[in-house]
Amino acid sequence: MTETTLAEKTLGVLLAGGLARRMGGGDKPLVRVAGRPLLDHVIERLRPQVAAMALNANGDAARFAPWGLPVLADDVAGNPGPLAGVLVGLDWARAQGAAWLVSVAADTPFIPPDLVARLHAARGGHPIAVACSGGRTQPTVALYATALAPDLRQSLLAGERKIDRWTARHGEGRADWPTTPFDPFFNVNTQEDAEAAEALALRAAAAP
| DSSP states along 99-160 | SEEEEEETT-TT--TTHHHHHHHH-TT-SEEEEEETTEEEEEEEEEEGGGHHHHHHHHHTT-
**Range scoring the smallest mean pLDDT among 67-71, 81-85, 190-194:** 190-194
Q: Which residues, listed in sequence order, are joined to residue 177 by a DSSP beta bridge?
A: 133
Would you list the DSSP string of 40-52?
A: HHHHHHHGGGSS-
Contact 12, 54 (CB under 8 A): yes
Report the alpha-carbon distance of residue 115 to residue 68 in Å, rounded: 23
Q: What is the enclosing helix (H) or strand (E) of 91?
A: helix 82-95
Higher pLDDT among residues 7 and 70, named by residue: 70
Question: What is the spatial distance between Cα 134 and Cα 33, in angstroms, rounded to a whole number?
Answer: 24
pTM exceeding the 0.95 threshold for the entire prediction: no
- The yes-or-no verdict on residue 2 having pLDDT over 70 is no
Would you tell me how many other CB atoms lie within 10 Å of the CB of residue 159?
8
Cis, peptide link before residue 82, omega less than 30° from 0: no
Residue 21 has pLDDT above 50, yes or no: no
8 A C-beta contact, residue 19 and residue 189: no
pLDDT level of residue 200 (50, 70, 90 thresholds): confident
Cβ neighbors of 168 (< 8 A, separation 6 or more) are none
What are the beta bridge partners of residue 132?
137, 176
Give the lowest-confidence range in 17-31, 92-106, 130-144, 176-190. Answer: 17-31
Q: Specify burial of residue 59 (Cβ count, 10 A radius: 0-12, 13-18, 19+).
A: exposed
What is the SS3 assignment for 174? strand
C-alpha 28/C-alpha 95 separation (Å) is 28
- The CA-atom distances, in angstroms, between 107 and each of 143, 151, 188 are 18, 27, 5
Whether the per-residue pLDDT at 121 is higher than 90: the answer is yes
